[in-house]
Amino acid sequence: IKERNTFKFNKLLARGLNSKGLSDSASKYWGNALIFVPRDVESHYELGKYYFKKEVYASAVSHFAAITENERRSLKEFYYMFAVSS
């Protein structure tokens, strides 16, 4: 239960920081969330977008590739960023 709460706490912090335009700080918490739930789609997607914007394409591809095909369909702009990063 403690790990699940820590996971949720990190995601809430990351979302809040993103909403304030603090993506550098938010990226730390997205990464922390992945420590607890390594297959979390939202965390991988947000980190992929973060690295894409920073033009760190190898890291962007790594996070985008961690998202399964079924999960990709619902993510806005996923295929564009994934294609450009590759």
Write out pLDDT tens, residues 31-54.
999 999 999 999 999 999 999 999
Token couple for 13: 């912090």
pLDDT value for 57: 93
CA torsion sign for 38, 43, 45, 46 is: negative
pLDDT per residue over 4-21, tens digit each? 899 999 999 999 999 999
The pTM of the full predicted model, rounded to 2 decimals, is 0.85
Lowest mean pLDDT among 20-24, 36-40, 58-62, 75-79: 75-79
pLDDT at 1: 61
pLDDT of residue 21: 96
30: burial class by Cβ within 10 Å (0-12, 13-18, 19+)? buried
DSSP letters for 10-78: HHHHHHHHHHTT-HHHHHHHHHHHHHH-TT-HHHHHHHHHHHHHTT-HHHHHHHHHTS-HHHHTTSTTH
